[in-house]
Structure 1
Amino acid sequence: MEGIVGSILPIVLFILLFWLILIRPQQKRQKQVREMQTNLQKGDRIITIGGLHGTVHALDEGTLVLEVHDGTKLTYDRSAVREVVQSS
């Protein structure tokens, strides 16, 4: 019985350590990104994952319309937003 516990314990500890170091921080980051994308508002200045800088002109459930420097309006998925630079 002690041999089984002795051989399983390191595997369990390795899995726990793996979860604490890699998986948990990634889950927290994904949650923060989802909240940021959900809380977008008209007038927010954002950067997309492609590096496009723009201002949120209109919002829909899954999409948003960005107004860029020269007044051009582009439609993107909310998931394309990397960060909010300035909140309205």
Structure 2
Amino acid sequence: MSGILMMVLIFVVFYFFMIRPQQKRQKEIKKQRENMQPGDKVVTSGGIYGKIREIKEDNTVIIEIAENVRIKVDKSSVFLSLQDAQQGQQK
């Protein structure tokens, strides 16, 4: 009986220290992607820095990485808004 109780306790601790923070982070990233707007400075998951120029209906984003140099990327690969990152560091 104590073995089962110990397993349940380990699972609860594992949930609150591993799974729950990851779910919270995923919700933050989803909210951030939904709130992206043209003009936001971002970093892609590949490490490319740029500014959003256009958000298309087909779940893609046009990012300007240099003057007159634009790339089309999937919205899910836009990893981080630099404005959000700076606000997070100031807190």
Q: Shorter-chain TM-score category?
A: 0.7 to 0.9
1:7 deviates by 2.4
Aligned to 2:5: 9
Q: Percent identity?
A: 35
Counterpart for residue 41 of structure 2: 45
Give the TM-score, by structure 2 length. 0.84
| Greater Rg over alpha carbons, structure | 1
CA RMSD of aligned residues (A): 1.3
Task: Note the C-alpha offset of 1:32.
Answer: 0.4
Tell me which residue corresponds to 1:66: 63
AA aligned opposite 2:77: A
Show the counterpart of 2:89.
Answer: none
Runs ≥4 residues deviating over 3 A: none
SS at 2:26 equivalent: helix
Paired AA for residue 7 in structure 1: G
| Residue aligning to 1:18 | 14
Q: Tell me, what secondary structure is at the counterpart of 2:7?
A: helix
Structure 1: gaps spanning 5 or more residues: none
Q: RCO (CA 8 Å, sep 6+): is it higher in 1 or 2?
A: 1
